[in-house]
Structure 1
Amino acid sequence: MADIKVLTLVGSLRAASVNRQLAELAAEAAPEGVTLTIYEGLGDLPFYNEDIDTEDAPAEVVALRAAAAEAAATLVVTPEYNASIPGVLKNAIDWLSRPYGDGALKDKPLAVIGASFGQYGGVWAQDETRKSFGVAGPRVVESVKLSVPAKTLDGKHPRENAEVAAAVRDVVEKLVAEVG
């Protein structure tokens, strides 16, 4: 079986964010034959502007679209900012949705998980992220959900919480099962 590549987009740019840690755990939990790669360039993307979305699009945009095109699936890991989606992630969605109707993630499975310091673990941000990506072209796997209230981790890496680690493994397995 060929290696299945999963693009992982983290909606927090902070190096020590709990969401980055969840993404790291997902990469560690990937079954044999599956590679999860955390995309490191979201903070470098210019704001979406159709005037610069041309054949000579910025290099940062070309790199994101290439990473998305190479992936068989996408895992999005997002915090909740002011009861919604982080701007850096929304900007990535806007770039990945173009060209309209034929973006790099078109028809590929995508799942959204995350952690937040609110009591519901960022459910609103995850719902908004699913909605935006659903319009942008990938096939959002609605049955794959994981919301982690960050306070339940007691300041530890999610891999140190057996329940969270098992849930993340389950998310990765279910997402990969959606690859056609």
Structure 2
Amino acid sequence: MTTKPRGRPRSFDRLTALEQATMAFWEHGYETTSVSDLTRAMGISAPSLYAAFGDKKALFEEVVQAYAVSYGAYGGRAFEEEPTARGAFGRMLTEAADVFTDPAHPRGCLMISAAINCSNPEVEQALRDRRNSNLTSFEERIRRGADAGELAAGTDAATLARLFGAVLQGMSQQARDGATRAELEAVADAAMLAWPAVPAATD
């Protein structure tokens, strides 16, 4: 006598559903994306969503984690692969211009745009913490560049990091407002003019 497996097998691909949820949150933000919007985008029922992902907040947290290592990974790659701090920041902004305007998905940055008009304090704080963590990584990369002699002694790493964070956030919003890749690349080039000059060599 054979034993029937317990429960019904899941009738959808979890990774595909997560990607579809990412697109919904990215396009509409956390606050205005309802569970009905999510189930419609993911092609699943509400009970299936809750069973596979938990509630809306838990699903969004998983979406953000997946986004950070996929669409949002360009900055980390630039910091790891570019030999200089200036090269890393220039590449980060240029690649952001590409990602933010790619027609294959919603415009801008999910972690920036999803926080707009968010009334859930936990979600808002989690997104703020991620953005602040990015600023910390910016500052650390600048300090490493300074230690390597790429920037003058006394360079204000914290302010420079915050400047590039502001540029990145502004590029995201401008992409949402319709700025083209070429226009954002021009912004990136202009922002790099603010990079401190390399210290002059001394005999």
* TM-score normalised by structure 2 residue count: 0.26
The answer to which structure, 1 or 2, has the higher relative contact order (CA under 8 A, 6+ apart) is 1
More helix by share: 2
* TM-score normalised by structure 1 residue count: 0.29
More strand by share: 1
